[in-house]
Chains A and B, each alone.
Chain A
Amino acid sequence: MSTPFEKATREWLRSAAENLDGQTRSQLNRARQTALAELKPRSRWARTPFLPLTAAAVVAVVAALLLLPSSNHRPRSSTPAPVVAIDEGDLGGAGGQGLFDEDPTLFALAAVGEATP
């Protein structure tokens, strides 16, 4: 609720503001046009809402796919691999002489057999 004094001062000051001289009004007009020229049209992407959140989510998903261990991406067979029982005697004896150990005696016998017709 304005008092008469407030109303009167408001009217006086507003009328003074509306009656500015031509030079000042021209300068204000130029200033306004200069400011309006700064209203640049925004790009289509800039108008997209939540664009930063979308971009961050995409980056997170791609990073997660790249950084996960590669074993996780191998196709897994549905049937378990067969378990084969291996006897230790097939691979090596009690004395440490296995199938894959070299036996000098065997090589010597083989050499003699090749030499005799």
Chain B
Amino acid sequence: MSLSTLLMSPDDDSAGALAAAGSASAQQAQRAAMERFLAEVEKRAYQHALLGLRHREDALDAVQDAMLQLCRRYADRPAAEWRPLFFRILVNKIQDQRRRRTVRGRWLAWWTQGNAEDDEAPVDPLENTPDTRQEPLRRLAGEGALRAVAAAVEALPPRQQQAFLLRNVEGLDIAATALAMGCSEGSVKTHYFRALQALRTAVGEDAP
């Protein structure tokens, strides 16, 4: 018989069982809340990553990594903080992926230049960039205004695109958007204003 069993009175035992049951139900409630949150946010998160990365598999990887990191590190935080934290992680993943692509592109360009004299048909680095013409968002947009908006959002600079998607589509307020983007609230306002201007220009005057 262990020491803890010897020291534990029947009252302690029942209290421990109650505490264990309470903690188990709390864990189930936390899991249910997290599942609801992820299910509610995952499609827009994928859309955000797809517009930022223009590559389906990379976008899925970014969303999955953000989900994993949120569950591993920030599940204990209040549920109200999950949304800005999740998008902060996602934005960082998208930026990391972009940086990796930039470095890879430079290496490919250097490699292509170095072998240009030897090879008859040098590899064009642009061939390795994903084709965005058949991405799901574009296909869903179909013909018309949504297609034009999707193309315009894709063409935005990264920070403007993030500010627009987080503020307008995701519905975060300025403070939460600043937290998600890792910048000041003033920067968020500037990026968002410029994004709206660029979108209006790209879509045209007859856009709603």
Contact = CB atoms under 8 A, between A and B. Distances in A.
Interface string A7-37: 0111011111111110011011001101110
B72 to A, nearest CB: 5
A68 B64 CA distance: 56
Interface string A33-77: 011101101101001000000000000000000000000000000
B46 A24 contact: yes
Interface residues of chain B: helix, strand, loop or mixed (majority): helix
A18 B64 CA distance: 18
Contacts of B42: 28, 31-32
B67 A5 contact: no
Interface residues of A, number: 32
A92 B85 CA distance: 89
Nearest to A12: B146
Interface in B156-208: 165, 168-169, 196, 199-200, 207-208
Interface residues of chain A: helix, strand, loop or mixed (majority): helix
B109 interface: no
Contact of B31 (A15, A21, A24, A36): A36
A36 B60 contact: no
B145 interface: yes
Contacts of B200: 5
Contacts of B39: 32
27 contacts: A8-B145, A9-B169, A9-B199, A12-B141, A13-B47, A13-B149, A13-B153, A13-B168, A13-B169, A16-B141, A16-B150, A17-B43, A17-B47, A20-B46, A24-B56, A27-B60, A28-B43, A31-B64, A34-B68, A35-B64, A35-B67, A36-B38, A38-B71, A39-B27, A39-B34, A41-B27, A42-B27
Interface of B: 19-20, 23-24, 27, 30-31, 34-35, 38-39, 42-44, 46-47, 56, 60, 63-64, 67-68, 70-72, 75, 136-137, 140-141, 145-146, 149-150, 153, 165, 168-169, 196, 199-200, 207-208
Nearest 5 A/B pairs, CB to CB: A35-B67, A31-B64, A17-B47, A8-B208, A38-B71
